[in-house]
Structure 1
C-alpha cells in the first residue's frame, strides 16, 4: 500500500511540475523583457520574436520534458527498489539431482530447519528406503515441513541430508493451473498412452473424464474451481504418479477423498502401481499405517518415534485409533466410480470477448458522470476558454506593443514630430505593455486553476470507477467467478485502472488545452489576415483525415495489448501458487518458457502499437513542415502590407499552431486508445449482482428449523440439474449428517442454503422463505467452517473478529475453546499470505474460531476436519458439541463415524436425495446406500 501511495505522489508531483514549468517559462520571458527595458535598452521586432521563439522551446524543455522525465526517473527508482528486494531475496541452494546408481533412499542426520526465526524441524534423523513410509502426527506436527525439507524447499540450519534418486511430489492442497486436465497431469512429461491410461485408472479418474464433453481436454479453471475437491486431489496425485521417478512424496493426498475411494487408490496406486518405488505418504489413517513398511511419528517438528508399524510406541499416537474396515471386495470398489456435479466449459484459457469498432459514446458519458457530471465539466471548459482568451489577447497586445515601440523609435529620430503626439504614443505603448503584463499573470494563475480542476475531475472519475468495479466484483453472482479467470480480473484492476489513473489525467488536460490554443492561434492569425485561415483549415483537415485513418488500427492494437496481458498475469499468479510443486518437478524451465511466450505475445502487441504511433507522428511532422514552408513563403515572395509586429505574430502563431495541432491530433488518438481501458473497466461495473434486498426479521432464526421443498439447482452450461427435487425437514437443534460420494451434490446443497446460486423450489428457515430475507442478513445468521480454510491477510484478531465486534477477552476465550492458544502468542500476530505460516489443520481451527465467536443458530461444517488427524478431529467434534449445543448443525463428512450420533443422515447420490433418516434405522436396511458406505468405514 505504501508503494501505491508513493507512486500516486510521484504522479501528482509530476503533474504539478509540468504546470509550474510552463507558467515559469512565460513569467521568465516577461521578467526578462521588463529587465531589458528597465536597464535602458531599446527593443526591436527581430529581438522580441527571436527571444519569444527561444522561450517556446524552453517551455517544452522546462515545462514538459524535464518534469515528465523527472517523474520517469522517480518511477524507475521505485521499480528498481521493488525489484531489488526480489533479486536480493534469500535463494535456495542449487543442488543437482543425484543419479541413482544403487538403491534410491533418503537419509537425514541431525537436521534442523528455521523459517523466519521459528524452528519448524528440530534435530530430525531418519533413513527411508524402498517401500511405503507413512509420516503421521497431530495437526501442526511438521509433517508437510518434513516433505518440503526433503524437497530442499526449506533450507537447513544444520545437519545433513542425502538423497539418491529422482523425486516426484503431490502437495497437500491440490495445485492445478488453467489448462486442460491432460496438461495438468502430464506437466511437461512426454505422453505415454499406456502409462497415462493406467494412471487414470489407479487414480479413479476414468469415469469422471467419461462424463465430460471434452474428456481430459476440459479446461481447468483457476485453482480447479470447476472441479470438486476430490477431483482436484486425484488430478494432483495423478500428476505426481505419472512422472517416472524413484521417490514419491505424497503430502496427505488421500484425505479429501471418500473412505472407499481412499481405500481403492491406496491399494491400486500406492501399494501396487508404486510398489517398487520409495513412497513417503503423509496420513493419519491407522489402517494405512498398519500396512506401511516404515512409520515416522512427528510432534512439534520432531520425530518422536520411527520404525515398523508394530515397533511404534502406541502412546505416541496420542489417541489415533485404528479405523477398522470390513473385508472389501476390490472388484466392487473398482466399480463404485465417482460422479461429478460441476459444470465444464469449452472456452479457451484467458479468452476475452474483445470489442471492435470505435468506443461507444456511452463510455464517454459514463466517464463524465463518474467525474462529477456534465455541468462540472462544462465549468472546467469555461476555465480553459477564459485562460485561452487571456493568452490570445496577451499575444495580440504583445504584437501591438512591438509596433508601438517601433513607432516610438521612429518618432525619436524624427524631430518634426509633435511632442504631444509622441507623448500619447509613448503612453499608449506603456499602457499596452502594462495590460500585457497583467494578462500574462492572470493567464498563469488561470493555468494553475484549470489544470487543478480537470485533474480533480479525472481523479474523481478514476476513484469512482474503481469503487464501482470493486463493489460489483465482490457482489457478483458466483457464475461470474466460474467463468472468469483470475488473470482476466487482475488485468482489469491493474493495467486498465493504471491507464485510467495515470494516463487519462494527462491526456485530457493536454488535449483540451491544445485544442483551445489552436483555436486561439487561428483567431489571432485571422485578425491579421483572414485569408491565412484557408491554408490553416486545409492543414487541419489533412491531419484529421490522417487521424481517421490511423485510429481504427491504433484502437484495435490497444485492445489487443490489453487482452494479451491477461495470460501474462494469470500465468505468473498460478505459477507462484504452486511453486513447491514446480520446484519438485524441476519444471521451472518449462514454466519460464510458457511465461516467455505470453510475454512475447504481449510485447509484440505493445511494440506494434508503439511503432504505429511513431509512424503516425512522423507523417504528421512531415505535413506540419510543408505547412510552415508555405506560410513563410507567403511573406518572403509575395507583397503584403502587414506590419512587422503582425508578421512576427503570425509566424509565431503558425509555429505554435503546427506543434499544437499535431500534438492535439496525437492526444485525440491517445484519448480514444485510453478510453478502451475505461470501456473494459466499465464492463466490470455492469456484472449481474446478487439480489441483496429483502427484509431482516428480528430475532431470526430463533430455533434453527430448516425445510427444503422441491429444490433444484442448475449451473450454467449444464444439461441436467446438479441438485434435483430435494425435499426434507430439519427440526430445531437437530444434528444432520450429509454424506455421499465425491460429486454427489453435498456441497451444492450447502450453496443453496447460502443462496450462492439461484435455485428452484423453496427453502425455509423458521418458516421464513430465505429468498425474502436480505442476503447479507441471511449469511450473517449462518456460520460455516469450509472445506478449504480461508484466512485473510492481517492479524489473528482481524481474522477471528473481522467486524471488530467483540472484546479481546471474548476472542481469547474462543481461541481457548478451539485449542489453538498454544500457537498464537498474541492477537496482533500477522497472518502471512493465505496463512502460509500455519498448517492446513491449524488454518481450519482458526476458521472454527471465527464461526464459534458469532454464536449463530445454524452451523455448517463442510468436511471441516478433512485435514486433521483423528485425535484432533475427535477433539474438535467434542468442542463443536459443546459450543454449538443449542444450534442446528449440518455436517458434510467423509469420516462416517462422526455422524453416527446425528439425529438424521441425508444421503446424496447424483444430485438426488436418496435417503433421509436416523442413521441407526438406515443401518438396519442392508440394501441402503448408507449401509454400504458404512460397511467400508465403520465406527469404532
Structure 2
C-alpha cells in the first residue's frame, strides 16, 4: 500500500492502526457496504410488487430523517473543510478526502430514501441493520486513532459522527425488531380454549406493542401502571403485563415440537435437543449476537476518553477540550445503558420462549410414554427434568454468547493495556494463562460433582414422592422413622457431592476475585522496573481497563460451568425425549416407532372383532433392555364386539398385564395387537384428579344432565354425593385422599361410563366394594343398558361376574390356558377356583345359579340442582387450601432464620472478611494515587512496590477467607433447612396432606430446596460483595472528589425512591411467580400417576391444554418480573451516567478556571472517574442482587411458613388428643 499511503504506516504503527488504513480500508469499506446496500434494496423494491408498509409515526419519521440529514450535513462540512485546506496548500491526504466523500455519499443516499414514503422501509431491512452494525464496528479503529493522537477539538467531528451513526443504527435496529414483533399471529385451536374471546384476545395481543411508543419500549415505561399498582395494594394475576404473541406458551410449544419431531425422524436415538432448539430459535439468537458485538465495542470507548481527559488535566490547558470529553463520557454511558437493557430484554424473552417450549415437550412426552418405556426413568428423575434440567438448558443462551464475547472483551482490553504500558501487561497475562488450566480442572470436577449430585437428587425426590403418595399408610403403620432414614440417607449422598461443588466453587471465587488485583500489581511492578514513570493518565486508564476485565475474568469460569451444566441437562432431556412413545397416543407424531406395530382404530369399522392378539409376547421392561422379562407369552385371542369377557386366574397370573397390553402400556416383544373403537379403562388402583367430583367424571367431556344422573345411579354414587356438603361439586383432594377405596373405585367407574366408549376394560374393580354394591354395579353398570351393546373385559375373582360372562379367559403364568363360553368353562377343570370360606381350601364349583341378591338404590333428587339452562350447579366446598402468599417485604425474621441455619459465627466471619477484602482493595488504589501524585522519579520505586504488594497479599488472604466461609455457611444452611423441613412434613397430621396437594409439598422439597442449596448462596454471595464494593466506591469518591458530596444526598433520595418503587412490585411478582409455578408441578405429578388412564381415554390433548394454561400463567408472571427488573436496571445505569458526567464536568470546570478552588490532583480526579465508571454496574448490581436475594429468600420464607403452620397444627392436635394427628 505504499503507493496509496506514502510515508505512513499502512496497517500498524506498533500501538494502533495507521490513519491511512483506518480511513481508506476500514472507514471507506463500511461506507461502501452501507451505500451499496441502499442501492441494492432500492432497486429490489422498485422491481418488486408494491406491498403495504408498516405504519410509522410522524415523530419516528422526523427523527430518522433528522438524524440522517444531520449526519449528511456534518459530512459535507467536513468534506468542505478538507477541500479548503487542500486548496490552501495545507497537508491533507487523499485517503482523508476519500473517506469523507464516501461518508457524505452514504448519508445522502440514506436521507434521500427517508424523504420518499414508498422507500422509507428500506432502512429497516435486516440487511441494512447488519450494515449499520458493521459500519460502526469498522469505524471504531478510526475513532480510536483520532482520540489517541489528536486533540479533542480536532477530533470533535469524528466523535459526533460516530455518536450520530451509533444513535441512528441503534434506533433503526430497535424499531425494526419492535415492528416485527408486532406482526399479527393467528391463535390456533389448542390455544383458543385458554381465552374467553379468541378474536378480541388476538387483537389485543397484536396491538399491544403498537399501543406503546418507541420511547416507552426503549425505557420500559409501559410497565409503570403495574408498578403504580404494586405500591398501593397487593398485586394479583390480573394486574400483570399481557404476554406478547411470541411469548404465549402454545406458539412456543408448537415451534419447538415441530423442530424436535424433524430432529427425531432424522437421527432417532442420536437426536439432540440443542439442534432442535437452534432450528426453532437459532437465527433469532444469532441476531442478538450482532447487538452484543456493538454493545461490547462501545464499552471500550470510555477508557480511551478517560485517558484523554486525564492527560488534559495533567497538561492544565484551557479551551473546550475538557467539556467535550466530559460530555462524551456521559453520552457513551447513556448509549451503553440503552444497549445493555435492550440486549438483556431480548435475550430474556428468548429464554422464556425456550423454557415454555421445553416444559411443553417434556410434559407431552410424559403423556406419550408407555409404562414399560417409562420404567427406564424414576419418577423423581422425570420430575427433575421439568424442575431443574429445563432451566439449566435454557441458561445456555447466556453461556454461548458469553463464550465468544468474554474472550473478545479480554483480548481488546489487553490490547488497550498494551497501548498504555507496552509489554508490561504480559506479566498479568501470564498469571491469567496459568490460571486457565486450573480453572478448567476445577470446572471439570464441578461438572462431575454436579452430575452425581443430580442423580442423588433424583433418588431423593423419587423417594419423597413415594412418601407423599402413601403418607396415610406410612402414618397408619408408624413408618415415619423408616422413611425419614431413607430420605436422610439420600440427602447425605446428595450433600456430599454438593459440598465438593461448593468448595470447588470457593476456589473459583478466590481465583476470579484476586486475578484483577494480581494483574494490576504485576503490570505496574514490571512497568516501573522497566524504568518507565507512572503517571495518572496511564495508571487510571489501566485501572479502568482492569475494572473492565473484572467482569469477563470473573464470569468466564461461570460461563464454562453453565455450558457444562446445560450440555449435561440437554443430554438428559434428549435421552428422555428420544424414548419410543406409546403406539396409539393421539400426540404421537409417528406410529411406526417400534419394531412390532400396535394398531388402534378409533372409528368403528365393519369388523366383528374388537381385539385381535396374534402370538403376543409382552414385557414390562423397556425396549432398550437386551433381555426383557417376559410377562405374557404366546397370547392369541380374537374378541368379538358386544361381549362380556371375564378374565380369571390366580394372583400374578397376568390378568392386569393382559389389559395393559391391550391398551399398549407393555412392550410388545413379539406378535401384534390390534384394537377397534374407543376405549375406557378403569385400573385396579383408581386414578383421581384433584378437583370436583363432577370434573373427575366429565374429564373434559360436555355435561349432559340426563346421562350424568344415569351414570351416578348405575355406579351407586348418588347416596355418597347426597351426604357431601357440596354435592357433586365437592372438592376431592389429590389422589382422592378424602374418599374411601370403594368411593374411588366407583368414581373411576362413573368416569368410564360417562365417556360412552366402544370398549370397556375393568381391572378387578369389584374387589374394592362390598358384595351388595358389587352386585348393584354388576347389574346396573357392567350389565346395564348403557353397556349392553359394548365390549367389556373384566379381570375378576367375583363369582357372580363370572357366572354372567359371555366368554371366559383363564390366565396362568402369563399364558392363556383356556378361552371359551361359560357353559364350556363349567365343564373344564378350570372351573374349580380357590374359595377362602370353603371347607376345602383348594376348590369349589362355580354355579350359574350362584347369584347374590341385588340391593335396590334410588337416585336422590336433591343431589344435583339444575338451573334454568339445564346445567347442574352446586356451590363448591373448598377442602384444599389455596397456596399461601405473604404480602409486603420479606420479614427480618426470615433473614435471621437463614442466618441461624448457617450459624451466626460464620455470618460474622463472612461480613468481616468481605469488609477487609474491600478495604485492602481500596487501599491498593489509594496508594497508587499517592504514588503517581508524589513520585518524581524511580529512586523510591521499591518502596512503593513493597507497599503495593502488601495490599495485594492482604486482599488475597481475605478473599480466600470470604470464599470458603461462604461455602461452609451455605452448605450448613442447606443441610439444616432440609432437616427442618423434612421433620415438619413427616410429623404433620394427615389433614395437612388433604389440604395441600403433594405437588405443592414436592415443590418445597425440590424447587425451593434447590434454591436454598444453590441459587440463594450464589446470589447472596454476590450481594455481599456488591454491598461492600459500593460502600468502598462511595467512600473513595467522597474522598477523592469533595464535590461528589453535593449530589450524594439527592442521589441517595432518588436511589431510595427507585428501590422502594421496584421492590414493592418485584416482591409481589415473585410471590405470584412461586404460586403460578406450583400448579405446573402438581399437574405434572398427577399426569405421571395417571398417564395410562389418560392414554386409554385418549385425553392427552385435554390434559396438554390444561398444562399449557398453567405454563401460560407462569410465563406471564416471569415476563412481568423481567420487564420490571429491566425498568430498574436502565434507570440505575442512567443515574450512574449522570454521576460520571457530573464528576468529569466539575473537574473540567476546576482546571479550566484558575479562580475556582482546586478540588483535587489529576491522580485523585483519575481515581474518582475510574471508580465512577463501574458505579453503573455496582448500583445496578447492588439493588438487583438485593432484590434477587429477597426473591430467593422467599423460598426460605415458604419453608419457614410451612414449618410454622405444621407446628401450629401439631399443637392443636395434641390439645385434642393423640388420635387427631391422623385425622
Settle same-fold status: TM greater than 0.5: yes
Which residue of the partner structure matches residue 751 of structure 2?
Answer: 239
Aligned partners of 2:1054, 2:709: CA distance in 1, in Å?
66
| Deviation, structure 1 residue 326 | 7.7
Which residue of the partner structure matches residue 885 of structure 2?
Answer: 354
Matches within 5 A, 1:436-835: 436-639=948-1151, 640=1158, 642-688=1160-1206, 755=1219, 757=1221
Change (3 A) 1:280 1:62: same
> Does the CA contact (< 8 Å) of 1:100 and 1:164 recur in 2?
yes
Which residue of the partner structure matches residue 401 of structure 1?
Answer: 931
> Does the CA contact (< 8 Å) of 2:718 and 2:860 recur in 1?
no
Task: Please state whether the residue corresponding to 2:1098 is helix, strand or coil.
Answer: coil
Aligned partners of 2:910, 2:1214: CA distance in 1, in Å?
49
> Does the CA contact (< 8 Å) of 2:679 and 2:761 recur in 1?
yes
Change (3 A) 1:590 1:348: farther
| Deviation, structure 1 residue 603 | 1.3
| Deviation, structure 1 residue 659 | 3.0
Change (3 A) 1:165 1:649: closer
| Deviation, structure 1 residue 262 | 0.3
Change (3 A) 1:641 1:311: closer
Larger fraction in strand: 1
Aligned partners of 2:559, 2:1043: CA distance in 1, in Å?
41
**1:162-193 CA-partner distances (Å, limit 9, x unpaired):** 32222211111100111111111111222222
1:284 and 2:797 aligned: yes
| Deviation, structure 1 residue 551 | 0.2
Change (3 A) 1:164 1:642: closer
> Does the CA contact (< 8 Å) of 1:113 and 1:156 recur in 2?
yes
**1:106-138 CA-partner distances (Å, limit 9, x unpaired):** 222221112321111100112222221000111
Return the match for 1:101 from 592, 605, 619: 605
Return the match for 1:222 from 734, 741, 752: 734
**1:784-817 CA-partner distances (Å, limit 9, x unpaired):** xxxxxxxxxxxxxxxxxxxxxxxxxxxxxxxxxx
| Deviation, structure 1 residue 233 | 0.2
> Does the CA contact (< 8 Å) of 1:401 and 1:433 recur in 2?
no
Change (3 A) 1:404 1:177: same
How many residues of Structure 1 are paired with residues of Structure 2 in the alignment?
A: 680
Which residue of the partner structure matches residue 126 of structure 1?
Answer: 637
Change (3 A) 1:331 1:301: closer
| Deviation, structure 1 residue 330 | 4.0
| Deviation, structure 1 residue 40 | 2.9
| Deviation, structure 1 residue 491 | 1.6
Task: Please state whether the residue corresponding to 1:289 is helix, strand or coil.
Answer: helix
Change (3 A) 1:630 1:348: farther
1:307 and 2:771 aligned: no
Change (3 A) 1:316 1:444: farther
Change (3 A) 1:69 1:8: farther
| Deviation, structure 1 residue 682 | 0.9
- Which is further off, 228-237 or 3-12? 3-12
> Does the CA contact (< 8 Å) of 2:722 and 2:860 recur in 1?
no
Which residue of the partner structure matches residue 911 of structure 2?
Answer: 381
Aligned partners of 1:382, 1:331: CA distance in 2, in Å?
79
Task: Please state whether the residue corresponding to 2:1206 is helix, strand or coil.
Answer: coil
Task: Please state whether the residue corresponding to 2:1038 is helix, strand or coil.
Answer: helix
Change (3 A) 1:217 1:9: farther
Which residue of the partner structure matches residue 169 of structure 1?
Answer: 681
> Does the CA contact (< 8 Å) of 2:680 and 2:761 recur in 1?
yes
Return the match for 2:576 from 82, 86, 98: 86
| Deviation, structure 1 residue 322 | 5.5
- Which is further off, 271-280 or 624-633? 271-280
1:432 and 2:944 aligned: yes
Aligned partners of 2:1017, 2:914: CA distance in 1, in Å?
15
Pairwise CA RMSD: 2.9
1:319 and 2:837 aligned: no
> Does the CA contact (< 8 Å) of 1:384 and 1:513 recur in 2?
yes
| Deviation, structure 1 residue 9 | 5.8
Aligned partners of 1:455, 1:128: CA distance in 2, in Å?
66
1:73 and 2:586 aligned: no
> Does the CA contact (< 8 Å) of 1:475 and 1:690 recur in 2?
no
Which residue of the partner structure matches residue 365 of structure 1?
Answer: 896
Task: Please state whether the residue corresponding to 1:664 is helix, strand or coil.
Answer: helix
| Deviation, structure 1 residue 500 | 2.0
Task: Please state whether the residue corresponding to 2:811 is helix, strand or coil.
Answer: strand
Which residue of the partner structure matches residue 883 of structure 1?
Answer: none
Which residue of the partner structure matches residue 869 of structure 1?
Answer: none
Task: Please state whether the residue corresponding to 1:134 is helix, strand or coil.
Answer: strand
Change (3 A) 1:15 1:564: farther
Return the match for 1:110 from 596, 602, 615: 615
Change (3 A) 1:198 1:15: farther
> Does the CA contact (< 8 Å) of 2:613 and 2:674 recur in 1?
yes
> Does the CA contact (< 8 Å) of 1:540 and 1:661 recur in 2?
no
Task: Please state whether the residue corresponding to 1:254 is helix, strand or coil.
Answer: helix
Aligned partners of 1:301, 1:576: CA distance in 2, in Å?
27
> Does the CA contact (< 8 Å) of 1:286 and 1:322 recur in 2?
no
Which residue of the partner structure matches residue 297 of structure 1?
Answer: 810
| Deviation, structure 1 residue 674 | 1.7
> Does the CA contact (< 8 Å) of 2:643 and 2:792 recur in 1?
yes
> Does the CA contact (< 8 Å) of 2:712 and 2:718 recur in 1?
yes
Which residue of the partner structure matches residue 379 of structure 2?
Answer: none
Q: TM-score w.r.t. structure 1 length?
A: 0.69
Aligned partners of 1:280, 1:315: CA distance in 2, in Å?
19
- Which is further off, 378-387 or 88-97? 88-97
> Does the CA contact (< 8 Å) of 1:14 and 1:68 recur in 2?
no
> Does the CA contact (< 8 Å) of 1:560 and 1:605 recur in 2?
yes
> Does the CA contact (< 8 Å) of 1:170 and 1:251 recur in 2?
yes
Aligned partners of 1:611, 1:498: CA distance in 2, in Å?
25
Task: Please state whether the residue corresponding to 2:766 is helix, strand or coil.
Answer: coil
Which residue of the partner structure matches residue 908 of structure 1?
Answer: none
| Deviation, structure 1 residue 550 | 0.5
Aligned partners of 1:41, 1:377: CA distance in 2, in Å?
45
> Does the CA contact (< 8 Å) of 1:628 and 1:658 recur in 2?
no
Change (3 A) 1:280 1:376: same
**1:633-688 CA-partner distances (Å, limit 9, x unpaired):** 01012242522222212222222344323321222222222222211111222243
Task: Please state whether the residue corresponding to 1:686 is helix, strand or coil.
Answer: helix
Return the match for 1:30 from 498, 515, 521: 521
Which residue of the partner structure matches residue 786 of structure 1?
Answer: none
Aligned partners of 1:334, 1:27: CA distance in 2, in Å?
88
Larger fraction in helix: 2
